[in-house]
Homo-oligomer: A and B are copies of this chain.
Amino acid sequence: MSIKKILVSVYKKDGLVDFVKALKTEFNVKIISSGGTAKVLRSAGIDVQDVSDYTGAPELFGGRIKTIHPRVAGGLLFRRDDPGDVSEASANNIEAIDMVVCNLYPFGEVIKDPATSLDGAVEMIDIGGPTMIRAAAKNFKHVTVVSRREQQDMVLKEMRENNGDTTLETRRKLAIDVFRTMATYDTAVFKYLEKQAGTAEKFPDVLVKIYDKNHLCRYGENWDQEAAFYTDRDSKMGIGTLGKLWGKEISFNNYLDIDACFQTLLDLNKFQHACVIFKHTNPNGVAVDEKTQLEACKRAFSCDPLSAFGGIWGFNKPIEPEVAKYLIEEKNVFIEVLIAPKIPDQARKIMAKKENMRVLEFSDLLTKRDELYKNHLDMRGILGGVLAQDYDCGPIVKEWNVMTKRPVSSAEKDTLIFAMIIAKFAKSNSAVFAKKTPTGMYTIGIGTGQQSRVHVVKLAHSKAIEFGHDTKGSVMATDSFFPFPDGFEAGVAAGALAIACPGGSIRDSDVIKRADELGASLVFTKKRVFRH
């Protein structure tokens, strides 16, 4: 059965005239149309019948009612292979409409314009269009629905090869597309109305997430896993907005590290210069400096130059030429990914020879911390579902309670808070030894991902020793409480003078007592910073 009668009613009209003209001239279809669409087609010399003429019912309410009519919906919906339907159609003067060409009012685009009022947005909620395309899609056995510009060429080509008809397979694909489009369309509507009303719940009973494919990865976490990176339609602001300047393709694991590295920078942006090195989603060297970016860079690298090999490096300020030079020339520096707000021309020229290094700019994104965290939930898939939570973006210290006799100096306090930020971004359990420099602070030993407190402290210490750091006179922060005094003792034995933890163990008093015996400071911050 070739396509004989079509209904055309579109909002976006690009490509429309050529498409409909081809349908008319090559297949002699009869065309029903309405309003602006009819006008455009007629002025291109295409003969069309007005929908209101076809239905015998007028267009009403400023366009709110145009196509909602049994002669339209019925013409789309009746089963051509059901004799009862066919005779009912005939008895009721309902003609088969074989194809609908229709795209919806661009609700999603209109609401992006801050000038759009609630009334203006509501007017853009399409009712007639969805009725037609859903009806046509339901009847995909018989009816073709072209709901996107991109589908026109494919449909035309198929009709040319297929005696003026489409295949069932194509009609089904087009129908699937309709219901997918409706799902995302109505999601945009309800989320907009909720936001306007201020009634959006953080954890609604039904959570609808729409994601747009940003990048199909070459593989996932491992070579035999397929993977893709999707941006969140609720707010695309985030890792998807980083602009790549050059370098190899971003891998799945790169994305994880870029995310962790960027978030650490978000927390360190109050410092003049920050340099953060990540590997396997753990920080392995971090430094801040009030004077020069180069100093922050060198100090961060010095923490664990071995593990930094193939790491992800992030800076909170545009890359300075001397830093670019250092990163290129320093032996043992091998960078997989470099992120910074900007790579100015001079730095670009210096680093351009490193063709494989992935280089990304994130512009002013560090200034949007609140917005970034407010607009997103931290989503973590588990088998059969997802854990959704707020990002851990509150103050790193909730209370500053020095629990011991030994006071904590202002310099120690600064360094403890710095160390706690790094402990937050290291996988639990974590422990971070840090030290002051004349112009900044840096990590000298980072222990990560341990199942006990005492082990992670010892691990952090052993790494500091291995890379020649003197832990005497340092401070240490750890992401949760000490269940026993042993972890604290290990920190003091390493040379830490002051140690910060959230507190909250049933044996806190034992730990405090032991700290006083050892003459070291213990601070409870009341803020646990687990990260798994």
Contact = CB atoms under 8 A, between A and B. Distances in A.
Contacts of A304: 451-452
A308 B84 CA distance: 71
Interface string A258-278: 110011000000000000000
Given A189-B179, A222-B529, A127 B122 contact: no
A37 interface: no
B202 A176 contact: no
A70 B78 contact: no
A164 to B, nearest CB: 23
A385 B138 contact: no
Contact of A78 (B61, B280, B390, B463): B61
A329 interface: no
Interface string A157-197: 00000000000010011011111101110110110011001
A248 B209 CA distance: 31
Interface stretch (A109-117, A320-328, A374-382, A400-408): A374-382
Interface in A348-405: 372, 376-392, 394, 398
A473 to B, nearest CB: 24
A343 B183 CA distance: 43
Contacts of A187: 179-180, 183, 208
B222 A211 contact: no
What copy number does this chain have within its complex? 2
Interface string A50-91: 000000011011101100111001100111001011001100
Interface stretch (A12-20, A235-243, A289-297): A235-243
A331 interface: no
Given A183-B187, A226-B390, A450-B449, A130 B134 contact: yes
Nearest to A88: B60
A247 interface: no
B386 A230 contact: yes
Main secondary structure on chain A at its contact with chain B? mixed
Residue of A127, A225, A236, A385 with highest tally of chain B CB at under 10 A: A385
Contact of A262 (B209, B239, B383): B383
B384 A377 contact: no
A324 B239 CA distance: 48
A230 B388 contact: yes
Nearest to A504: B223
Contact of A232 (B208, B385, B427, B529): B385
A229 interface: yes
Nearest to A189: B179
Given A199-B176, A379-B386, A386-B211, A428 B280 contact: yes
Interface string A201-216: 0111111111111101
Tier of interface size on chain A: 35 or more
A170 B228 CA distance: 40
Nearest to A75: B65
B73 A65 contact: yes
Residue of A202, A231, A259 with highest tally of chain B CB at under 10 A: A259
Contacts of A210: 206-209
Contacts of A222: 392, 527-530
A386 B214 CA distance: 10
B384 A238 contact: yes
B228 A382 contact: no
B385 A229 contact: yes
Contacts of A531: 221
A255 interface: yes
Contacts of A156: none
B385 A211 contact: yes
Interface in A447-463: 448-452, 454-455, 459, 463
A307 interface: yes
A236 to B, nearest CB: 6
Given A70-B69, A226-B202, A240-B384, A256 B175 contact: no
A478 interface: no
Nearest to A214: B385
17 contacts: A68-B68, A125-B138, A127-B134, A172-B193, A172-B199, A178-B190, A183-B190, A202-B226, A203-B216, A209-B210, A211-B385, A225-B390, A238-B383, A239-B383, A256-B382, A280-B428, A449-B450
Given A60-B74, A227-B389, 4 more contacts: A60-B70, A175-B193, A221-B532, A281-B532
4 tightest A-B contacts by CB?
A238-B384, A449-B449, A379-B381, A220-B389
Interface of A: 57-58, 60-62, 64-65, 68-70, 73-74, 77-79, 82, 84-85, 88-89, 92, 94, 122, 125, 127, 130-131, 134-135, 137-138, 141, 169, 172-173, 175-180, 182-184, 186-187, 189-190, 193-194, 197, 199, 202-214, 216-217, 220-232, 235-241, 252-253, 255-256, 258-259, 262-263, 279-282, 284, 304, 306-307, 309, 311, 372, 376-392, 394, 398, 427-429, 448-452, 454-455, 459, 463, 483, 527-532
